[in-house]
Amino acid sequence: MRKLTTILLIVFAAAAAFADAKYDINGSVEWDTLQIKAAVSMELASAGIKLPAGRFQGEALVYSGYLKMIRSGILDVQVDSSSTIGDLVERGEFSLADAETLALQAKRVPAVLSPDFKNMLASYTLNIAAVSSALLRHEKPSQIMRTLNPIAAQAFTGIIIIASESLPAHGMKSSALPVPCLFPKIWDTEMNLVYERNMFELKNAAMASYSHQESIFQNNPSGLSDDLKALVGERPLRIFARGVFGTKPTDLIIDREDARTIISSNENRRLLSEGRVAIILDSSVLRQKF
């Protein structure tokens, strides 16, 4: 705690001393790796930094710039079909201080000088699971829907929902390309809720992971990429989404029979509560720049 306080004091002092520093940021929300990445550069001359004496101050100022500029990237993260983190802040359900606390959790690559010695550069990586954990409020997970008429279902090792093309939008005469969010809901074709955030029992992971089509067409017996196999195992249930639902097309609709396969056994219901769910989306929606 003392170390963090010292860092913040240095950052604030640097920011006050060099308020005219010119920054640039290249950032992206990478849903396929569940990371928020940012590369920050600062023009040394604009901050009045002279090397080598000013290197430490320059590093502190770059970090100050990161904390200021990453905020918009965090606030734009889609939480669910109707809200971004920024929307939660406006409604008082999350605070800017909470967002800045998340920013402080990023892993840093030490600042370096550009080849022409005119800029100082640093990169930061924030795990999306940390953002997800900060927004989960329930102490005990809700029960996953059961069926009065269970079917004989194989015990699967994970669930893959393929939603990489435009799908019919429920209640509308249109279609939409599904997009990622922190807490996607899954419905069946009778609009029963199969999966939502309060059913997820882990607080140090994402309730669903995202990938692209190539990850399920690999040249190996399972057809899965190594990352995907680590999540859903060797024998996942593969499902084609039938539609999308919500203000943003983040929530997926699956066939009622596929839903029954999941909810008919404790083993398969546990796949939901443990977040062993992978959603396959079009590559164009998996990375969002800011």
Give residue-wise pLDDT tens across range 161-201: 999 999 999 989 899 999 999 999 999 999 999 999 999 99
Contact 166/284 with Cβ under 8 angstroms?
no
Q: Angle, to 10 degrees, between the axis of helix 55-75 and the axis of helix 2-17?
A: 100
Whole-number Cα distances in Å, 69 to 59, 74, 149, 235, 284: 15, 10, 53, 43, 24
Contact 109/32 with Cβ under 8 angstroms?
no
At residue 12 the predicted structure's pLDDT band, cuts being 50, 70 and 90, is low
Contact 41/120 with Cβ under 8 angstroms?
yes
pLDDT tens digit sequence for 99-129: 999 999 999 998 999 999 999 999 999 999 8
Number of other CB atoms surrounding residue 139 within 10 Å: 6
Q: Which residues contact 24 (CB under 8 A, 6 or more apart)?
A: 40, 41, 42
Q: Which residues contact 221 (CB under 8 A, 6 or more apart)?
A: none
**How is 230-269 classified by DSSP, letter by letter?**
HHH-SS-EEEE--EEESSSTTEEEE-HHHHHHHHTSHHHH
Backbone angles phi, psi at 48, to 5 degrees: 70, 25
Q: Which amino acid is at 161?
A: I
CA proximity to 199, closest of 274, 88, 279: 274
CA proximity to 82, closest of 30, 140, 90: 90
Q: Which two tokens stand for residue 30?
A: 């990478």
Strands (DSSP E) found in 31-177: 35-43, 107-113, 119-127, 159-162, 167-168, 175-176
pLDDT tens digit sequence for 29-69: 999 999 999 999 999 999 888 888 888 888 999 999 999 99
Is pLDDT above 50 for 3?
no
At residue 4 the predicted structure's pLDDT band, cuts being 50, 70 and 90, is very low
Is pLDDT above 80 for 7?
no
pLDDT tens digit sequence for 204-248: 889 999 999 999 999 999 999 999 999 999 999 999 999 999 999
